[in-house]
C-alpha cells in the first residue's frame, strides 16, 4: 500500500515538473517557428498594436515631464548647477529641451532596453561631467527608467521575448518578485544612507560601479559558451547588489541583474525582459523614497526629464523588437561585451577625477 502511495506521489510530482511554466518557452517557440531574422522582423497585428500603445504611453508621460520641468510645485526648484547658471536659468522657472541629451537618450535607451543595461550607468556620469547636479539627474533617470522598464516588460511580452503568467505562476514572475522586493529594500537603504547620512563623494560611487561592471562582464564572457544550471537563489544576491547601485547613482542596475541572470541559468532574451520589469519596479520605489525625502528639506529639479523622455519614445519601443529579431546566441555575447564597454567608459570618465584628488 505504501509503495502504491509513494509511486502515485512521485508521478504527481513528475507531472508538476512537466507542466511547470518557466516563461521563456515562448521565445524558443518563436525561434523555431520563425528561424530566420527576416521572418521575425516581419510584424503582425499584435506587434503593431503594442507599438501604438507604447508610443502613446510615452507621449503622455512626456507631457507630464514638461509640466514638472516648469517647477509647478513648492518642492521643485531650479537647482543652480553649472550648466543652469551658464544659461542664466538659476532662480527662475525657465527650462528647455537639451537636444544633445535627447540624442544621448535615444542611443543609450535603445542599448539599455535591448541589452538590459546601460542607460543610468552611462548617462549619469556623462551629465555630471557636462555640469548637471545629481539632484537634477538621478530623479529624472528614475522616472525615465520606471516608464521604460514597465512599458518594456509589456512590449517584451507582446513581441514574444517572455511570457508573464500568474496562474500558475511562471518562473519569470517569480524572478521578478525576488529581484524587485530585495532590490527595493536595497535601493531605499542606499538612497537614505548615501544621500541622507554618509554624503559620499560622487567619484567613489562611480569608481565602485566601474569595478563592478568589469567583474560582471568578464565572468559572463568567460561562461558565454556554457549553459549553466538554473539557480534562482543566486538572484537574491544580484537583486540586492543591483538595487544598492540604482539607489546611489541611478545606474549599475541592469548590468548586475542581467549578467547575474545569465550566470544563474536564465535564457538571455527572457532575462532582459525580467530586468526591464524589475528595474521599472525598483525605480518606482525609488521615486516614492525621493518624494518622501522632500519633507526633510530636499529639493528636486526636473529640468532634464522632458529631454530624457523625448529621446526614449522611439528607442524604448524599438529595442524590445530588436531583442525579438536577433537570435539568442548573438545576445549571449553582446550583453557581456557591452557590459565591459560600459566599464571602460566609466573608467575613462573617472580616472582624471581620481588623479586630481591624489
pLDDT at residue 114 in the model: 74
96 CB contacts (<8 Å, ≥6 apart)? Answer: 87
pLDDT at residue 15 in the model: 42
pLDDT at residue 49 in the model: 93
pLDDT at residue 65 in the model: 92
CB 308 within 8 A of CB 95: no
pLDDT at residue 203 in the model: 65
Which whole-number Å values give the CA distances from 320 to 11, 131, 149, 276, 297, in the listed order? 39, 32, 11, 10, 39
pLDDT at residue 56 in the model: 92
How far apart are alpha carbons 246 and 252 in whole angstroms? 6
Q: Cell numbers 544576491 correspond to what residue?
A: 237
How far apart are alpha carbons 183 and 177 in whole angstroms? 10
Sign of CA dihedral 162, 166, 169, 171: positive
Q: What is the pTM of this model?
A: 0.79
332 CA to centre of own chain: 18
Residue 268 cell numbers, joined: 538571455
63 CB contacts (<8 Å, ≥6 apart)? Answer: none
Residue 98 cell numbers, joined: 537639451
Closest CA to 246 of 334, 126, 145: 145
Regions in the chain scoring below 70 on pLDDT = 1-19, 116-118, 121, 191, 193-206, 209, 216, 219-226, 246-252, 294-295, 349, 355-358
Closest CA to 210 of 336, 345, 338, 112: 345
How far apart are alpha carbons 77 and 81 in whole angstroms? 12
pLDDT at residue 64 in the model: 93
Domain residue ranges in the chain: 37-357
Closest CA to 240 of 260, 223, 222: 260
pLDDT at residue 333 in the model: 75
CB 282 within 8 A of CB 74: no
pLDDT at residue 142 in the model: 84
pLDDT at residue 306 in the model: 94
Amino acid at each position: 500500500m505504501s509503495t502504491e502511495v509513494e509511486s502515485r506521489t512521485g508521478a504527481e510530482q513528475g507531472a508538476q515538473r512537466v507542466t511547470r511554466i518557466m516563461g521563456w518557452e515562448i521565445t524558443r517557440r518563436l525561434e523555431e517557428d520563425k528561424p530566420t531574422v527576416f521572418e521575425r522582423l516581419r510584424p503582425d497585428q499584435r506587434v503593431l498594436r503594442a507599438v501604438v500603445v507604447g508610443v502613446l504611453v510615452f507621449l503622455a508621460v512626456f507631457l507630464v515631464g514638461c509640466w514638472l520641468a516648469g517647477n509647478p510645485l513648492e518642492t521643485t526648484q531650479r537647482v543652480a548647477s553649472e550648466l543652469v547658471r551658464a544659461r542664466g536659468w538659476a532662480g527662475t522657472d525657465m527650462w528647455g529641451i537639451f537636444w544633445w541629451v535627447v540624442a544621448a537618450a535615444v542611443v543609450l535607451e535603445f542599448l539599455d532596453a535591448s541589452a538590459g543595461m546601460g542607460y543610468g550607468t552611462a548617462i549619469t556620469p556623462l551629465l555630471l561631467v557636462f555640469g548637471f547636479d545629481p539632484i537634477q539627474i538621478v530623479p529624472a533617470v528614475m522616472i525615465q527608467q520606471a516608464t521604460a522598464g514597465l512599458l518594456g516588460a509589456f512590449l517584451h511580452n507582446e513581441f514574444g521575448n517572455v511570457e508573464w503568467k500568474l496562474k500558475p505562476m511562471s518562473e519569470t514572475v517569480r524572478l521578478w518578485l525576488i529581484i524587485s522586493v530585495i532590490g527595493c529594500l536595497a535601493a531605499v537603504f542606499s538612497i537614505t544612507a548615501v544621500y541622507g547620512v554618509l554624503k559620499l563623494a560622487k567619484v567613489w560611487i562611480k569608481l565602485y560601479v566601474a569595478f563592478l561592471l568589469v567583474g560582471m562582464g568578464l565572468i559572463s564572457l568567460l561562461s558565454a559558451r556554457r549553459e549553466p544550471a538554473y539557480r534562482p537563489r543566486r538572484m537574491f544576491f544580484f537583486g540586492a547588489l543591483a538595487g544598492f547601485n540604482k539607489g546611489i547613482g541611478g545606474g549599475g542596475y541592469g548590468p548586475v541583474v542581467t549578467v547575474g541572470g545569465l550566470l544563474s541559468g536564465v535564457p538571455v532574451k527572457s532575462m532582459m525582459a525580467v530586468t526591464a520589469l524589475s528595474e521599472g519596479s525598483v525605480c518606482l520605489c525609488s521615486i516614492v523614497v525621493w518624494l518622501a525625502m522632500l519633507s526633510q528639506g530636499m529639493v528636486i529639479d526636473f529640468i532634464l526629464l522632458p529631454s530624457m523622455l523625448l529621446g526614449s519614445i522611439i528607442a524604448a519601443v524599438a529595442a524590445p523588437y530588436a531583442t525579438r529579431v536577433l537570435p539568442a546566441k548573438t545576445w549571449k555575447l553582446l550583453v557581456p561585451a557591452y557590459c565591459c564597454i560600459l566599464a571602460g567608459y566609466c573608467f575613462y570618465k573617472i580616472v582624471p577625477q581620481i588623479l586630481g584628488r591624489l
